[in-house]
Amino acid sequence: MIAHAPLPAFEFVDKVSDKAGKVPVIVAVPVARPAKDGDAAVAGPLAETLAALDLTALGASESAGSVRVTATGAAPATVALVGGICPEASADEFRDAAANVAREVDGTGARLVLALGIETAEQASAAALGALLGAYRFDRYRTDTRPAIDSIAVLVPARLLKSASAASQRVRILATNTWRARDLVNTAPNDLTPAEFAAYAIKAAKLPRVKTTSLDLEALKAGGFGGHVAVGQGSINPPHLVKVAYKPSKAKGHVALVGKGITFDSGGLSIKPAKSMETMKSDMAGAATVLATVIAAAELSLPIAVTGWLCLAENMPSGSATRPSDVITIHGGTTVEVLNTDAEGRLVLADGLSAAREEKPDVLLDIATLTGAQLVALGPEIGAVMGSEDVRSEVIAAGDAAGEDLWPMPLPAHLRPSLKSPVADIANMGDRFGGMLVAGLFLKEFVGSTPWAHLDVAGPAYNERAPHGIAPTGGTGFGLSTLLTFLETRAS
């Protein structure tokens, strides 16, 4: 079973108090410019706060948004941490710097006080979110534990205290659900099978106005969900299709979200090289993000109906696995020739999109770690958006507001013929060049006339490198902030 570590306690404050000198107070101070000598660089208003606490600035970071601990664990309230935020930094830079600070002091059991020279309410909530996301860690499998950050306070000017605190419920809900999505991605695939994921979703989404139902293998066969059946049949862990429906009493429309939930992608009989398989526990990141988004929408009581579809299966090779050249039937009747069993995400998503569309939502979004080509095209930190032009723009605008990098990609008609099959309605693999777009064109076949966008997040959903900004190593929760902002914009 999945259990989550609790978030640190969090508050906005307009004064820094030395809480009895029991725990170290760690303060981050902005510098007006990159500096080596922190003493000289401490910005004006904070110099007062520091003086009042008898703190001394001990150093500064060399670049904006990064921090360097110059002294910790000294006598209480004499610890200074100097961060390098320029006063003109964007909200996202405040967010990332706060995350870096939080990570820097993680393991000390500290009460973290962030004094970043915040001037606007937007910067305040960005810093709060960054600190909470930076404080994330995944300890489930560790026997050597270190103390987590005890509590976080963000120092804001008195005039911002009220507006900042009003926004803190959203910050907390967004952070909690980002932690949730990260935990799901980071959980080992022997612990997060499709059945475990489905059971977790039912439990986690027990909220007012949310109804969760799960189709097991038998129900999937009976319902004609041939994509799920085909992808799951090589595994001893059978597939599930989970529907999480949030329905407020007064809804301004209905959004359907479909997530790819391959709990492990070996490639199936079209097996992956060993190296490519190492990160494939993350192939359920789309489903994790969808679940986290529906829960967040319900917790915020957004006045918009949201239905999440989690397409869960494990893609394994075995004597019962789908063969290249097998023909399967997707929910709704379209037949697919499976030429490559490693193009499995589009098969479960086809089932999910077809089922979601039957309910006639106003708009349909899917999110998936769908193609290696996405990583090749946009690198590890930027997601791709394809689909109807207006929905695509709406998603990218939501991403801009949410501080997530998304880039528009086309669905060129000239690539569509490459998906033609000599025996079935469509093949699951086409041209290798433009593979991300070909995958998008395949999905397009299953959305009919419903306004739709497809997010390929193969790169940003999972960070294989060192932590940076809000992204820890491993699952990032990428997409949640964008999807939530998309819903809020529609609901407003």
Annotated binding site for Mn(2+): 260, 265, 283, 342, 344
CB 243 within 8 A of CB 228: no
CA distance 167 to 132: 14
Catalytic pick among 103, 111, 281, 346: 346
Residue 314 engages Mn ion in binding (rule: CB under 5 A): no
Q: From CA 110, how far away is CA 25, in angstroms rounded?
A: 7
Which residue is listed with tokens 């959903």?
Answer: 461
Q: Does 345 bind Zn ion (CB under 5 A)?
A: yes
Residue 366 phi/psi, 5° resolution?
A: -125, 150
For residue 272, indicate whether it is catalytic.
yes
Cβ closer to Zn ion: 96 or 283? 283
CA neighbor of 205 nearest in space, from 241, 175, 178, 245: 245
Q: Is 342 in the site for ligand BES (CB under 6 A)?
A: yes
Examine residue 451 and tell whether it contacts ligand BES (CB under 6 A).
no
> Which tokens sit at 297?
């929408």
Query: Parallel, antiparallel, or unpaired: how do β-strands 111-114 and 151-155 relate?
Result: parallel
Determine which one of 19, 209, 272, 444 is catalytic: 272
Interaction of residue 435 with Zn ion, rule CB under 5 A: no
Element (H, E) at 230: helix 226-232
What's the CA gap between 387 and 398, in Å, rounded? Answer: 15
Question: Considering the complex, what minimum distance in angstroms separates the CB of residue 342 from ligand BES?
Answer: 4
Give CA–CA dist 223/209, Å, rounded: 26
DSSP state of 416: G
Phi, psi of 481 (to 5 degrees): -60, -40
Instruction: Give the nearer residue to Mn ion in terms of CB position, either 125 or 369.
Output: 369
270-299 residues near Zn ion, rule: CB under 5 A: 283
Choose the stretch contacting ligand BES; rule: CB under 6 A; options: 205-213, 365-373, 379-387, 408-416: 365-373
CB of 16 to Zn ion, least distance (A): 48
**Of 315 and 463, CB closest to Zn ion:** 315
Kindly report the number of other CB atoms within 10 A of residue 300's CB atom.
16
Based on the shown chain and the rule CB under 5 A, indicate whether residue 342 belongs to the binding site for Mn ion: yes
- Residue selected from 223, 372, 408, 451 as contacting ligand BES according to rule CB under 6 A: 372
C-alpha angle with apex 389: 383 to 394, nearest 5 degrees?
60
Q: Does 458 bind ligand BES (CB under 6 A)?
A: yes
Cβ burial, residue 237 (10 Å; 0-12/13-18/19+): buried
Check residue 371 for interaction with ligand BES (CB under 6 A). yes
Q: Which two tokens stand for residue 369?
A: 């770690």
* Binding-site partner at residue 398 among ligand BES, Zn ion, Mn ion, none, CB < 5 to 8 Å by type: none
Q: Minimal distance in Å, beta carbon 319 to Mn ion?
A: 20
Comparing CB distances to ligand BES, the nearer of 185 and 257 is 185
C-alpha pair distances (Å), 28 with each of 104, 247, 382: 11, 43, 29
Report the partner that residue 196 touches, choosing among ligand BES, Mn ion, Zn ion, none (CB closer than 5 to 8 A by kind): none
Closest residue to ligand BES, Cβ-based? 372
Taking the least distance from each CB to Zn ion, the nearer of 345 and 434 is 345
Pairing of strands 326-329, 335-338: antiparallel
- The closest alpha carbon to 283, from 369, 346, 342, belongs to 369
Exactly one of 92, 183, 265, 394 binds Zn ion (CB under 5 A); that residue is 265
Nearer to ligand BES, 69 or 377 (CB): 377
Compute the distance between CA of residue 347 and CA of residue 311 in angstroms, rounded to an integer: 10
340 binds, among ligand BES, Zn ion, Mn ion, none (CB under 5 to 8 A by kind): ligand BES
| The only residue of 429, 437, 453, 487 in contact with ligand BES, by rule CB under 6 A | 429
Binds ligand BES (CB under 6 A): choice among 265, 299, 314, 337: 265
Q: Contact at 8 Å (CB) between 342 and 272? A: yes
Q: Give the nearer residue to ligand BES in terms of CB position, either 70 or 279.
A: 279
Q: Which residues define the annotated binding site?
A: 260, 265, 283, 342, 344
Q: Is 104 in the site for Mn ion (CB under 5 A)?
A: no
Distance separating alpha carbons of residues 484 and 403, to the nearest angstrom:
12
Assess 263 for contact with ligand BES (CB under 6 A): no
Taking the complex as a whole, how short is the minimal distance between the CB of residue 370 and Zn ion, in angstroms?
7
Question: Residue 36 catalytic?
Answer: no
Q: Classify residue 380 as exposed, middle or buried by CB count within 10 Å of its CB (0-12, 13-18, 19+).
A: middle
* Chain residues that interact with ligand BES, rule: CB under 6 A: 265, 283, 340, 342-345, 369-373, 375, 429, 435, 458
* Chain residues that interact with Zn ion, rule: CB under 5 A: 262, 265, 283, 345
Task: Give me the active site residues, please.
Answer: 272, 346
